[in-house]
Amino acid sequence: MKTAKPAAIADKATPATTAHPHGPGQTHGASQEAALVLAEEYCRERGEKLTPIRRKVLELLLNSGRATKAYSLLDDMRQIHPGSAPPTVYRALDFLLSAGLVHRIESINAFTVCHDLTQCQHGILVVCQQCGNVTELHQPKLRQALVAQIEDAGYSLASDEIELKGLCSACQAKEGAASAAGSATPVAAAK
């Protein structure tokens, strides 16, 4: 059973319904370093160690700001440690998953940092199918209702997390701008 993650990482007053986006640039400099230090403290409290390799994989995920595939992480690791092999990254990811520091996004076979570093279980992750941004939804009542419906239908969840696929607001805006530009061209040409 997991112990609570350091409360210092989380906001002091977390409302019952919150969203934690994983967009590019969500974690910068000092906050990234603070997240790494707190992750080390959390691991130490559990009697485990955030080894240099594990820390580097977590740092790479923090830098990416979105869901990242293991082989992309391996490519990044090889820039730093040329001899890195797939098992190195996969073992680090397995540890980070078991510690609750990262989420695995099954639908796109990628990983992302858990940005709500309290002991809450988000249960609902919204994944942008275009850019890979991930938003963690902390809505316990909604999750409980979904799980109840799933169980009433005769199923049991294979994972603690529920993934929803969608298009983030930034990608929606890009598509809207592209559609507007595309529809403006034929109108202008017709005149």
Between the CA of residue 68 and those of 65, 111, 150, what are the distances in Å?
9, 5, 29
The helix (run of H) or strand (run of E) holding residue 163 is strand 162-166
Using one digit for the tens of pLDDT, what is the confidence trace for 114-128? Answer: 876 555 566 789 999
Domains of the chain: 22-190 (1.10.10.10)
Using one digit for the tens of pLDDT, what is the confidence trace for 23-73? Answer: 433 444 568 898 899 899 989 998 999 999 999 999 999 998 889 999 999
Spatial separation of the C-alpha atoms in residues 185 and 166, rounded to whole Å: 28
120 is in an annotated binding site: no
Which residue from 111, 137, 124 is spatially nearest to 163, judged by alpha carbons?
124
User: Cβ–Cβ contacts within 10 Å for residue 69, how many?
Assistant: 14
131 is in an annotated binding site: yes
Q: Which strands form 123-128's sheet, in the order they lie side by side? A: 18-21, 134-138, 123-128, 162-166
Six-digit token string for 117:
């570093």
114 is in an annotated binding site: no
Spatial separation of the C-alpha atoms in residues 30 and 43, rounded to whole Å: 20
Average pLDDT, the chain: 80
Stated pTM of the model = 0.74
128 is in an annotated binding site: yes
Looking at residue 25, its amino acid is G
Six-digit token string for 88:
């190195």
